[in-house]
Amino acid sequence: MEECIFCSIASGRQPARIVHQDDLVTAFWDIRPVAPTHILIIPNIHIASMLSLSPNHQDILGYMLSIVPAIACDQGLDKNGFRVVINTGPDAGQTVDHLHLHLIGGRRMSFGFE
Ligand code: 5GP
Ligand code: ZN
């Protein structure tokens, strides 16, 4: 069975431009950035999508959100702001079935959802 690409990044078997890693999460640059800063934050454990979440995941999800400010500040996004996105399922354009939070910034964004 083919291994989940984000599990491979979290375990170090697949290279990525990692900006933060600890016991719970890994944050790394998106391979196809849509803005000057585009970082993905993932749980180190495999969670397929937001649909797989249940109340016993609140610690990991809360932690994923709680490290956003530090990473955003490191990337110089604290002055002009940034966007956090979690795509879920095909209609939202989820292409990797391992829960990930997009941290996007460095340019002006419209509210458009094409
Ligand atoms: P989604 O479309 O599922 O919300 O986001 C998946 C993101 O993962 C995409 O923005 C895509 O560019 C990124 N991505 C896919 N494969 C890789 C990879 O192997 N390495 C990195 N760093 N990013 C990836
Ligand atoms: Zn995975």
pLDDT tens by residue, 68-108: 999 999 999 999 999 999 999 999 999 999 999 999 999 99
CB within 8 Å of 34: residues ≥ 6 apart: 104
Atom of ligand 1 nearest to the CA of 86: 4
pTM of the model: 0.96
Q: Per the residue annotation, which of 38, 98, 100, 102 is the catalytic one?
A: 100
Give the CATH architecture of domain 5-105: 2-Layer Sandwich (3.30)
Pocket test for ligand 1, best of 96, 100, 114 (most atoms within 8 A of CB): 96
Q: Residue 114 pLDDT > 60, yes or no?
A: no
Burial pattern 45-63, b for ≥16 Cβ within 10 A else e, equals: eebebbeeeeeebeebbee
